[in-house]
Structure formats: structure tokens, C-alpha cells
Amino acid sequence: MRERTFSVYIVASPSRVIYVGVTNDLDRWIAEHGEKAIAGFTARYHVTRLVYFEQFDRAADGIAREKQLKGWTRAKKTALIERNNPPGVT
């Protein structure tokens, strides 16, 4: 049996709208939202490009990190994304 992991992620749109969330299946989340199969914020603003993620063994840890990131300023989130995705790297 596969151990469950919890992923905190940041996704972005072409116009640089960003969204922070947590899921227990990052691959499924990306597939569903990439196809806009789930109505809501991410579909409305085309927020489908994964730009950052962290994984946790416990749901509580993932949720705590999600809340922490959501409390950050946009500038701090952008710095985190850019630190992990240098310009010119695809």
C-alpha cells in the first residue's frame, strides 16, 4: 500500500495570479484543474501551472504550512517561487 503524502502547492496563471492550496493527491489535482474539470477560482483565472510544492507525511503539517504561505505577502511568495524556479528554466 502506498503511503499517503500531503502536498502544499502554489500554482500560477499566465497573468501571474497565484493560488496556494493543499491536497492528498497532487498528480490528480494538477490533471483535474489543468483540464478545468473543477469549477472555481483556478478555472476562472486559469491558474493551472504548478510553480512550487512541498510534501508532508501528516495532513496537519501540510495544512499548517498552507496557512503559513497564505499569510505571506505576494512578494514573499514570489521570492519563494523564483528561488526554486530560476529564470530561463522550464
pLDDT(69) > 70: yes
Q: What is the pLDDT of residues 18-29, one digit of tens each?
A: 999 999 999 998
CA dist 88 → 38, 56, 82, 84, 85 (Å) = 31, 29, 11, 12, 8
**pLDDT for position 88:** 61
Which residue segments constitute the domains of the chain, with CATH numbers given?
6-84 (3.40.1440.10)
pLDDT, average across residues 31-48 = 80
